[in-house]
Structure 1
Amino acid sequence: MNRVRVVVVGAGVIGFSTAVCITEALPFCSVTLLAEKFSPDTTSDVAAGILFPPKFPDIPLQRQRGWFKDSFDHLLAIACSPHSPEAGVMLSSGCQIFKEPPVDKKPFWSESVIGFRLMTDHELKRFPDHKFGQAFTTIKCECSTYLPWLEQRFRKAGGQVEQRKVSSLEELSNSYNIIVNCSGLGSKVLVGDTQIYPVRGQVLKMEAPWLHHFIREEEGKTYIYPGIYSVTVGGTKQEGDWRLQVDEGDTKSILERCCRLEPSLSKAKVLSKWVGLRPSRRNPRVERELVHMQGRRVPVVHNYGHGSGGVTLAWGTALDAVGLVKQCIQEMQLQAKL
C-alpha cells in the first residue's frame, strides 16, 4: 500500500497532540495538520493548563483513568527532562479545598498524581470557610509555550502544517485517505454535532512571583495557579455563552474570590485578561466512523469535546486516536486485497 495520507483538523492541544502521536507511531503515514488559527490564538492558549480531570458520565472510569494516566506520565517525563522550560511544563503542588466534604473524598485520578493525601485540620485553618481539602502534586502545562514546542516536534517527525479554513470535511476527501477531526467547537458546523456547546472561561494573568502553590476551590470555579512566568487566576464557567470579550464584572468577581483565598493577591499586578470558549459536550467524542463523501466512504476519526479537560486528557485521547487510525488502515488494506 502507498503512504497513507492523513489530515488532522485543528491546532489546539488536542489537534497537535494527536498529530504528533500519529506521526511518531505510524511513520508510513504522511500527516498534514490544517487549521485556521494557531497559537497564540487557540482556545488552548487561554487554558490554565493544570492537570485536573473532569468526570464524564457515560465513559467507563477505567478508560477515563487511562486517558489521564497516559497524559500525566507523558507530561511528567517532559517536566523531569531538560525540555521542561522550553516546553512550558512544570510540576505544581497545592491543594483543592471544599466548603463541605465531597461524596468522593478520594477521586478516581488520585493514584495518578503525586503524593495525594487529605489535608489536616491544621492546614485547613488557613481557609476558615472550608471543611475539607486534598493536597497533591500535579503538572502545569503552559500552552502558549507547549503548542509551539509540539508543532516543532511534529515538523521534526515529518509532519506538514498548513494554515487554512476548513469549511467542510468533504473538501478534504479527495486529498486524504483518513480525516482526523480535532476541531473542538468547530465540530458544530464541520460534522453537525448538536451536542457540543461553549463554556466561557475568563482568566487573568498576574504578577505574583511570591506564590508557589496552587489553590483550587471545589469544581474549579475559583483557582490560583502559579506558572513559569505569571500566576493564572480565575475563573468562570458560563455554559452556552459565546462572548469572547473580557467582562469587567467577571474580572472584579475573579479578583474578589481569589483574594479571599490568597489575600496577598491584592498586591499583585494584573498583566493580561483572557477569554476562551471550552468545547464541551456530555462526553468527549473519541471514535471513528465511515462517512459518505464524493461517492465513497471516507474513514473519519473524531477526537474533540473535552471541555475543561483538554490539556489534562490530550495525550491519552491522542493515543486512543492513533489506535482508531490503525483500525482504519487495517480495514483499508483488507479492502485493497478484495
Structure 2
Amino acid sequence: MTDAELQMFPKYKFGQSFTTIKCECTQYLPWLEKRLKNAGGQLHTEKITGFEQLTSSYDIIVNCSGLGSRDLAGDQSLYPVRGQILRVHAPWLKHFIRDGNGHTYIFPGIHSVTLGGTRQKDNWEMSVNEADSSGIFERCCELEPSLKKSQVCSELVGLRPTRNSLRLERETFVHENRQVPIIHNYGHGGGGISIHWGTALEATQLVKESINWRNPTSKL
C-alpha cells in the first residue's frame, strides 16, 4: 500500500492491496445443488450414526461429514474452531479490509457487509455471544469508522471442522464380510470454500480408482 493509503490505518506500518473475489455461499450452494440434480444426482436427508448403515446399499462411500467424523470415523484429532460474524447494512463500502492476523475483517457482499470475527478452538457453543459481537463491531469500526452508522442485520455462529491436516484418503470398511471403500474428505477448517474444489477433484479421483477396483454392480 502507498503511504497515502496507509494513512487510513494509523496503527499499521505495512499493508498490501490486491484484487480478489468473494464467494457468496447463500447463492453458490443452491447453484451446486441445482447442478447436481441436473446431472442426475439425488439428495436424501438421513441421520447416519455409523457407516454400517450404508454398506448394504452402496458400494462406495464418500465421507464429507466435517465434525461428524469425530464419531463416524472415530477421529478425535478433529476439533471445532468457533466463528462468529455480524452482517451489517453498509452499502457505501466497496473494498475488503483484513488486518494482519485475520481476526478482524470487513467483507462487502451483494446484500450486506460481513464483519468478523472469532477463532475459538474447542468451543462448541452455537449461540451468539454478545461480548463477541461487541468486540467484533468495535475492532471493525477502528479499521473503518464509517461502520458506526451501519445497521446490524444478523449475527451468525459456525463451527469450523479443523485438524492439523485435512484428511483426504481412502480406507476399506469391513462389515458383515462386505468390503466397502470409504473416501474421507474432511478437516478443511476455515478454508473449506477456498480449497473445496481441489479436494473434491482429488476425492473424485479416489472414487474412480475404487470403481476400477471393485467394478461395482450396485449404487454409488
Tell me whether the two structures share a fold, i.e. TM-score over 0.5.
yes
Q: CA deviation at 1:173?
A: 0.5
Look at both structures and tell me which one has the larger radius of gyration over its CA atoms: 2
Q: Which residue of 1 aligns with 2:92?
A: 210
Provide the TM-score with structure 2 as the length reference.
Answer: 0.95
Task: Map 1:221-232 onto structure 2 (within 5 A).
Answer: 221-232=103-114
Structure 2 distance, partners of 1:235, 1:196, is 21
Structure 1 distance, partners of 2:5, 2:114, is 23
Question: What secondary structure sits across from 2:114 in the alignment?
Answer: strand
2:208 paired with 1:326: yes
Q: Which residue of 1 aligns with 2:54?
A: 172
Structure 2 distance, partners of 1:139, 1:318, is 20
2:36 paired with 1:157: no
Letter of the structure 1 residue corresponding to residue 88 of structure 2: M
Question: What secondary structure sits across from 2:88 in the alignment?
Answer: strand
Q: CA deviation at 1:122?
A: 2.5
Gap regions ≥5 residues in structure 2: none
Task: Map 1:8-87 onto structure 2 (within 5 A).
Answer: none
Letter of the structure 1 residue corresponding to residue 96 of structure 2: F
Contact 1:173 1:294 in 2 (8 A): no
Contact 1:225 1:232 in 2 (8 A): yes
Which of 130, 133, 136 pairs up with 1:254?
136
Gap regions ≥5 residues in structure 1: 1-118
What is the RMSD of the two structures over their aligned residues, measured on CA atoms? 1.2
Structure 2 distance, partners of 1:146, 1:219, is 27
Question: What secondary structure sits across from 2:77 in the alignment?
Answer: coil
Q: CA deviation at 1:120?
A: 2.2
Task: Give CA deviations for 1:118-157 in whole Å, capped at 9, x if unaligned.
Answer: x223221211111221211222111122111110110000
Q: CA deviation at 1:219?
A: 2.8
Q: Which residue of 2 aligns with 1:191?
A: 73
Q: Which residue of 2 aligns with 1:307?
A: 189
Letter of the structure 2 residue corresponding to residue 229 of structure 1: H
Provide the TM-score with structure 1 as the length reference.
Answer: 0.63
Structure 2 distance, partners of 1:294, 1:156, is 35
The size of the alignment, in residue pairs, is 216
2:116 paired with 1:234: yes
User: Which 4+ runs in 1 deviate beyond 4 A?
Assistant: none
Structure 2 distance, partners of 1:187, 1:148, is 24
Letter of the structure 1 residue corresponding to residue 57 of structure 2: S
Percent identical across equivalent pairs?
58
